[in-house]
Amino acid sequence: MKLTIIGTGKMAEAIIEGIYRDIDVTVVGRDEGKLKYFQDKFNVKTKPLSYSVDISNENVLLAIKPFALRDVARKLKGEALMLLSILAGVTIESLRENIKSQYYIRAMPNLAAAYQKSMTTLTGDETCKKEAVFICEKFGKALWLSSEKELDIATAIAGSGPAFLALVAESMSDGGVNEGLKRKDSEILVQGLFEGFYELLSHKHPAIIKDEVMSPGGTTAAGVEALEKNKVRFSFISAIKRAYKRAKK
Protein backbone atom coordinates (compact mmCIF):
# COMPACT_ATOMS: atom_id res chain seq x y z
CA MET A 1 0.00 0.00 0.00
CA LYS A 2 1.12 3.58 -0.73
CA LEU A 3 0.28 6.48 1.58
CA THR A 4 0.94 10.21 1.26
CA ILE A 5 1.07 11.91 4.64
CA ILE A 6 0.52 15.67 4.67
CA GLY A 7 1.99 17.22 7.82
CA THR A 8 5.25 16.80 9.67
CA GLY A 9 4.16 17.31 13.28
CA LYS A 10 3.98 15.09 16.35
CA MET A 11 1.11 12.91 15.12
CA ALA A 12 2.62 12.47 11.64
CA GLU A 13 5.86 11.28 13.22
CA ALA A 14 4.08 8.92 15.63
CA ILE A 15 2.04 7.44 12.78
CA ILE A 16 5.05 7.07 10.45
CA GLU A 17 6.95 5.30 13.24
CA GLY A 18 4.23 2.63 13.24
CA ILE A 19 3.67 2.25 9.52
CA TYR A 20 6.87 2.95 7.58
CA ARG A 21 8.07 -0.67 7.65
CA ASP A 22 4.91 -2.00 5.95
CA ILE A 23 3.58 0.93 3.94
CA ASP A 24 5.25 2.91 1.15
CA VAL A 25 5.13 6.40 2.73
CA THR A 26 5.65 9.81 1.14
CA VAL A 27 5.68 12.75 3.55
CA VAL A 28 4.56 16.18 2.35
CA GLY A 29 5.33 19.28 4.43
CA ARG A 30 6.31 22.92 4.25
CA ASP A 31 9.35 22.67 6.52
CA GLU A 32 12.36 21.34 4.61
CA GLY A 33 14.30 20.67 7.81
CA LYS A 34 11.54 18.38 9.06
CA LEU A 35 11.31 16.60 5.71
CA LYS A 36 15.04 15.92 5.87
CA TYR A 37 14.59 14.64 9.44
CA PHE A 38 11.91 12.18 8.26
CA GLN A 39 14.09 11.04 5.34
CA ASP A 40 17.01 10.37 7.68
CA LYS A 41 14.98 8.74 10.43
CA PHE A 42 12.59 6.57 8.41
CA ASN A 43 14.10 6.50 4.92
CA VAL A 44 10.75 7.68 3.49
CA LYS A 45 10.18 9.75 0.36
CA THR A 46 9.37 13.43 0.88
CA LYS A 47 7.83 16.27 -1.13
CA PRO A 48 7.70 19.98 -0.32
CA LEU A 49 4.23 21.39 0.25
CA SER A 50 4.50 23.88 -2.56
CA TYR A 51 1.70 25.01 -4.84
CA SER A 52 0.34 22.16 -6.93
CA VAL A 53 0.96 18.94 -5.04
CA ASP A 54 -0.75 16.27 -7.12
CA ILE A 55 -2.75 13.82 -5.00
CA SER A 56 -4.60 12.13 -7.89
CA ASN A 57 -5.64 8.55 -7.04
CA GLU A 58 -3.52 8.54 -3.87
CA ASN A 59 -4.33 7.45 -0.35
CA VAL A 60 -3.76 10.63 1.64
CA LEU A 61 -3.45 10.96 5.40
CA LEU A 62 -4.02 14.53 6.52
CA ALA A 63 -2.12 15.42 9.72
CA ILE A 64 -1.96 19.22 9.72
CA LYS A 65 -3.56 21.65 12.18
CA PRO A 66 -7.34 21.99 11.68
CA PHE A 67 -7.06 25.75 11.07
CA ALA A 68 -4.63 25.11 8.18
CA LEU A 69 -7.12 23.04 6.16
CA ARG A 70 -8.03 25.75 3.62
CA ASP A 71 -4.49 26.93 3.23
CA VAL A 72 -3.21 23.41 2.55
CA ALA A 73 -6.20 22.43 0.39
CA ARG A 74 -5.41 25.29 -2.02
CA LYS A 75 -2.08 23.64 -2.76
CA LEU A 76 -3.50 20.21 -3.60
CA LYS A 77 -4.42 19.26 -7.16
CA GLY A 78 -6.37 16.29 -8.48
CA GLU A 79 -8.75 13.87 -6.79
CA ALA A 80 -7.36 11.55 -4.10
CA LEU A 81 -8.59 7.97 -3.80
CA MET A 82 -8.99 8.02 -0.01
CA LEU A 83 -8.65 11.03 2.27
CA LEU A 84 -7.99 9.90 5.84
CA SER A 85 -8.09 12.91 8.14
CA ILE A 86 -7.01 13.01 11.79
CA LEU A 87 -7.99 16.68 12.16
CA ALA A 88 -9.88 17.14 15.43
CA GLY A 89 -13.32 18.68 14.98
CA VAL A 90 -13.18 18.83 11.16
CA THR A 91 -16.23 17.12 9.69
CA ILE A 92 -16.37 14.99 6.57
CA GLU A 93 -18.59 17.67 5.01
CA SER A 94 -15.90 20.25 5.59
CA LEU A 95 -13.20 17.92 4.20
CA ARG A 96 -15.36 17.35 1.13
CA GLU A 97 -15.79 21.11 0.63
CA ASN A 98 -12.03 21.62 0.69
CA ILE A 99 -10.25 18.59 -0.76
CA LYS A 100 -11.36 16.36 -3.63
CA SER A 101 -11.35 12.64 -2.93
CA GLN A 102 -13.39 9.61 -3.92
CA TYR A 103 -13.70 8.46 -0.32
CA TYR A 104 -13.47 10.26 3.01
CA ILE A 105 -12.56 8.86 6.42
CA ARG A 106 -12.15 10.63 9.75
CA ALA A 107 -9.90 9.05 12.35
CA MET A 108 -9.15 10.13 15.90
CA PRO A 109 -5.90 8.75 17.29
CA ASN A 110 -4.51 9.65 20.71
CA LEU A 111 -1.14 10.57 22.14
CA ALA A 112 -0.23 6.91 22.75
CA ALA A 113 0.31 6.65 18.98
CA ALA A 114 3.88 7.73 19.85
CA TYR A 115 4.35 4.25 21.39
CA GLN A 116 2.15 2.43 18.82
CA LYS A 117 -0.54 2.15 21.50
CA SER A 118 -3.12 4.62 20.21
CA MET A 119 -6.80 3.87 20.72
CA THR A 120 -7.99 5.20 17.39
CA THR A 121 -11.60 5.55 16.29
CA LEU A 122 -12.67 5.89 12.66
CA THR A 123 -15.74 6.58 10.62
CA GLY A 124 -16.67 7.48 7.04
CA ASP A 125 -16.95 5.72 3.68
CA GLU A 126 -17.29 1.99 4.33
CA THR A 127 -15.64 1.26 0.96
CA CYS A 128 -12.27 2.18 2.45
CA LYS A 129 -12.90 0.79 5.92
CA LYS A 130 -10.48 -2.13 5.51
CA GLU A 131 -7.59 0.04 4.26
CA ALA A 132 -8.16 2.75 6.90
CA VAL A 133 -8.37 0.24 9.77
CA PHE A 134 -5.23 -1.50 8.40
CA ILE A 135 -3.31 1.79 8.57
CA CYS A 136 -4.56 2.73 12.06
CA GLU A 137 -3.88 -0.72 13.51
CA LYS A 138 -0.21 -0.19 12.67
CA PHE A 139 0.02 2.36 15.50
CA GLY A 140 -2.34 0.81 18.06
CA LYS A 141 -5.91 -0.41 18.28
CA ALA A 142 -8.60 0.77 15.88
CA LEU A 143 -12.37 0.83 16.30
CA TRP A 144 -14.72 1.60 13.42
CA LEU A 145 -17.77 3.65 14.45
CA SER A 146 -20.99 4.18 12.56
CA SER A 147 -21.26 8.00 12.64
CA GLU A 148 -19.41 11.25 13.21
CA LYS A 149 -21.51 11.78 16.33
CA GLU A 150 -20.06 8.58 17.77
CA LEU A 151 -16.58 9.69 16.73
CA ASP A 152 -17.02 12.96 18.66
CA ILE A 153 -18.15 11.06 21.76
CA ALA A 154 -15.22 8.66 21.37
CA THR A 155 -12.89 11.65 21.04
CA ALA A 156 -13.98 12.76 24.51
CA ILE A 157 -13.05 9.34 25.90
CA ALA A 158 -10.00 8.14 23.96
CA GLY A 159 -8.71 11.47 22.63
CA SER A 160 -8.96 13.48 25.86
CA GLY A 161 -8.70 10.36 28.02
CA PRO A 162 -4.89 10.43 28.41
CA ALA A 163 -5.24 13.87 30.04
CA PHE A 164 -8.04 12.68 32.35
CA LEU A 165 -6.07 9.61 33.40
CA ALA A 166 -2.96 11.75 33.82
CA LEU A 167 -4.88 13.71 36.47
CA VAL A 168 -5.80 10.44 38.21
CA ALA A 169 -2.19 9.20 38.06
CA GLU A 170 -0.73 12.48 39.26
CA SER A 171 -3.17 12.92 42.12
CA MET A 172 -2.73 9.32 43.35
CA SER A 173 1.00 9.89 43.33
CA ASP A 174 0.50 13.19 45.20
CA GLY A 175 -1.66 11.32 47.71
CA GLY A 176 1.21 8.93 48.43
CA VAL A 177 3.66 11.82 48.84
CA ASN A 178 1.17 13.60 51.11
CA GLU A 179 1.18 10.56 53.41
CA GLY A 180 4.99 10.38 53.41
CA LEU A 181 6.04 8.20 50.43
CA LYS A 182 9.03 9.30 48.38
CA ARG A 183 7.95 10.94 45.08
CA LYS A 184 9.84 8.43 42.91
CA ASP A 185 8.40 5.44 44.79
CA SER A 186 4.90 6.89 44.53
CA GLU A 187 5.31 7.34 40.75
CA ILE A 188 6.64 3.77 40.28
CA LEU A 189 3.63 2.46 42.22
CA VAL A 190 1.20 4.35 40.01
CA GLN A 191 2.91 3.21 36.78
CA GLY A 192 2.77 -0.42 37.95
CA LEU A 193 -0.84 0.04 38.97
CA PHE A 194 -1.83 1.27 35.48
CA GLU A 195 0.12 -1.53 33.78
CA GLY A 196 -1.55 -4.24 35.87
CA PHE A 197 -4.91 -2.54 35.64
CA TYR A 198 -4.85 -2.85 31.84
CA GLU A 199 -4.72 -6.66 32.23
CA LEU A 200 -7.49 -6.64 34.83
CA LEU A 201 -9.70 -4.46 32.65
CA SER A 202 -9.08 -6.70 29.64
CA HIS A 203 -10.45 -9.67 31.58
CA LYS A 204 -13.07 -8.31 33.98
CA HIS A 205 -15.86 -5.75 34.10
CA PRO A 206 -14.88 -2.66 36.19
CA ALA A 207 -17.70 -3.32 38.67
CA ILE A 208 -16.36 -6.83 39.32
CA ILE A 209 -12.82 -5.52 39.81
CA LYS A 210 -14.12 -3.00 42.34
CA ASP A 211 -16.24 -5.56 44.19
CA GLU A 212 -13.35 -8.02 44.36
CA VAL A 213 -11.01 -5.47 45.96
CA MET A 214 -13.61 -3.90 48.25
CA SER A 215 -13.92 -6.09 51.35
CA PRO A 216 -16.47 -5.26 54.07
CA GLY A 217 -15.38 -2.39 56.28
CA GLY A 218 -11.92 -2.48 54.65
CA THR A 219 -9.30 -0.08 53.32
CA THR A 220 -10.71 0.13 49.80
CA ALA A 221 -14.25 0.69 51.06
CA ALA A 222 -13.01 3.69 53.05
CA GLY A 223 -11.30 5.09 49.93
CA VAL A 224 -14.35 4.47 47.76
CA GLU A 225 -16.51 6.34 50.29
CA ALA A 226 -14.19 9.35 50.01
CA LEU A 227 -14.27 9.21 46.20
CA GLU A 228 -18.07 8.93 46.10
CA LYS A 229 -18.41 11.78 48.58
CA ASN A 230 -16.42 13.88 46.13
CA LYS A 231 -18.60 12.75 43.20
CA VAL A 232 -15.91 10.88 41.29
CA ARG A 233 -18.38 9.19 38.90
CA PHE A 234 -20.35 12.36 38.29
CA SER A 235 -17.06 14.22 37.67
CA PHE A 236 -15.95 11.78 34.97
CA ILE A 237 -19.37 11.59 33.34
CA SER A 238 -19.48 15.41 33.29
CA ALA A 239 -15.95 15.56 31.85
CA ILE A 240 -16.99 13.31 28.94
CA LYS A 241 -20.14 15.41 28.41
CA ARG A 242 -18.17 18.68 28.32
CA ALA A 243 -15.41 17.28 26.10
CA TYR A 244 -18.00 15.86 23.66
CA LYS A 245 -19.79 19.21 23.54
CA ARG A 246 -16.50 20.89 22.67
CA ALA A 247 -15.59 18.18 20.10
CA LYS A 248 -18.88 18.86 18.28
CA LYS A 249 -17.91 22.50 17.83
Ligand X SMILES: NC(=O)c1ccc[n+]([C@@H]2O[C@H](COP(=O)([O-])OP(=O)(O)OC[C@H]3O[C@@H](n4cnc5c(N)ncnc54)[C@H](OP(=O)(O)O)[C@@H]3O)[C@@H](O)[C@H]2O)c1
Where along the sequence are the contacts to ligand X (CB under 6 A)?
Answer: 7-12, 29-31, 34, 49, 63-66, 68, 71-72, 86-88, 108-111, 159
Q: How far is the CB of 52 from ligand X (least distance, A)?
A: 14
CB of 126 to ligand X, least distance (A): 22
Q: Which of 74, 61, 69, 52 is nearest to 27 (CA)?
A: 61
Alpha carbons 51 and 199: distance in angstroms, whole number: 49
CB of 155 to ligand X, least distance (A): 8
Residue closer to ligand X by CB (options 29, 186) is: 29
How does DSSP assign 128-181, residue by residue? GHHHHHHHHGGGEEEEE-S-HHHHHHHIIIIITHHHHHHHHHHHHHHHHHHTT-
Distance of closest approach, residue 107 Cβ to ligand X, in angstroms: 8
**Residue number with CB closer to ligand X (89 or 176):** 89
Give the residue at shortest CB distance from ligand X. 9
User: CB of residue 215 vs ligand X: minimum separation in angstroms?
Assistant: 39
**What's 100's DSSP letter?**
-
**Choice between 123 and 186, CB closer to ligand X:** 123
Question: Is the Cβ of residue 100 or residue 213 nearer to ligand X in the bound state?
Answer: 100
**Cα atoms in the 13 Å half-sphere on the side-chain side of 231:** 6
Max distance between CA atoms of the chain, in angstroms, equals 70
Nearer to ligand X, 107 or 128 (CB): 107
